[in-house]
Amino acid sequence: MTTITIEIPDDLAAQIDLVTLPILLRELVGHKTVQLQAIEESGALPRPLYREITDFLAGNPMTQQIMAFKISAAAQERLENLLDKNREEALSPGERAELDTYLQLSEWLTILKARARNGQPLLG
């Protein structure tokens, strides 16, 4: 059995029955898992923006493919949405992580493109 330690407000702790807590947690996790599976199956969750870049790079692209790479219109729309929410300071932690990861990969891809244009080795 795994031990997890969490900090919760005192008023919430006073409402928790430690005997029934494991049962409650199982029910909540089970319910949330079913909800997330339904959302994933319906396609309601957007594909993480950075996946397009990681999938592209994982395909071992040739130099010309790297120089020509652009994200799809759907990914561009997602990026614009995340950037708008970022300007409004309305990103969730998951969206913040998605945007940060995308920006890091985008910067790396920009460096790869510059090296390819200059005839430099892509790695090294």
- Ordered by start, the domain boundaries in the chain are 10-42, 51-117
pLDDT of residue 17: 74
pLDDT of residue 39: 56
pLDDT of residue 102: 87
Distance CA 55, CA 101 (A): 14
Contact 67, 119 (CB under 8 A): no
pLDDT in tens, the chain (124 residues): 677 777 777 877 777 777 777 777 777 777 777 766 665 566 555 667 778 888 888 888 888 898 899 988 988 998 999 999 999 999 888 888 888 988 888 888 888 888 888 888 766 6
Tell me how far CA of residue 49 lies from CA of 1, 24, 53, 97, 101, in angstroms. Answer: 36, 34, 8, 11, 9
Helices (H), ranges, the chain:
10-15, 21-42, 51-58, 63-68, 73-87, 93-117
Distance CA 2, CA 29 (A): 15
pLDDT of residue 19: 77
One-letter amino acid at 49 equals: L
pLDDT of residue 85: 94
Please state whether the predicted TM-score (pTM) of the whole model is above 0.95: no
